[in-house]
Amino acid sequence: MGCRIVSFTGGEPLMYNGIGRLVRKCVNLRYFTGLVTNGLLFGRFLDEGWPGMLDMLVISFIDDEAAFSTSRGHVNAYRIVKKNIEDMVERGLSPVIQSALTDDTLVHAEKTAAFSQSLGIGIYFSFIVETPRKGYDTVNWDDQKISGIENAISHISTIKDTYKGVHFNPDIERLQVRGGFNKHVPCQAARTVVSLKPDGSVSLPCYVKTVHSISPGTALGPGWKSADAVSVREACGHLGCCRGCMNTCMYAPSLIGKPVLIFRWICNSKP
């Protein structure tokens, strides 16, 4: 089907007992293989070998004990994850820190950038946005969102210029302020991404919204070419659930046909 990249995300992918087997399988098939984790469970896998096979390993972290442990709902989260990151680097791995910022954690961004620089690893900054995931209906997103977006963008841009290895894309943040995907930048998730869920089903148009599902008992090829799947892919970006969506994971895959934005995305992705 032309796929070249596999990303294990969640939820928390390290809760799946077979994650090491899946990573090895994807590497053997020559996929670019990535994994996104909150880092709490990573210590138990350090000696298994497969973490070193990953092309990209992303760990969620903010360098402030109270803020990070509170956000994780785990009193020792900060110490556990920070030690796991340091142990990864000591063993020759190159994790990348992902810091999703709120008004409360924005003040810790520079300290987190300094921590990543001290280890010689990269860091991605982004702002918390409303994500239309099932089960998150009770979250008060207004309390999570960054206020004063331009001042926040300026602050992180200054950090990016000051510290090595910092990645930040202001275009993504401004897309959120303008209401998410729209007619100028329509989401193309269903055309560019195969969203595989834990039960083995494939969700269309993406993993956060299911208009059509290919069941685990259906061969992916025929299921992908079915009339229902094709109709969802063709309508992707214009469906009611697509317009105004703020799922930033699909931003880069949706820049097909937008050369100026692709160029800006590449430039902003450079540390």
Q: Where are the domains of the chain?
A: 5-168, 189-269
Residue 213, both tokens: 């599902």
pLDDT digits (tens, 9 = 90+) for 166-221: 999 998 888 877 888 888 888 988 988 999 988 889 999 998 889 999 999 889 99
Mean pLDDT of the chain: 89
Q: Which of 156, 54, 44, 43 is nearest to 95 (CA)?
A: 54
Q: Tell me which residues of the chain have a pLDDT lower than 50.
A: 136
pLDDT of residue 137: 55
The domain made up of 5-168 is a member of CATH 3.20.20.70: yes
Q: Which of 196, 172, 185 is nearest to 248 (CA)?
A: 172
Q: Which of 189, 188, 211 is nearest to 201 (CA)?
A: 211
Q: What is the radius of gyration, based on Cα positions, of the chain?
A: 19
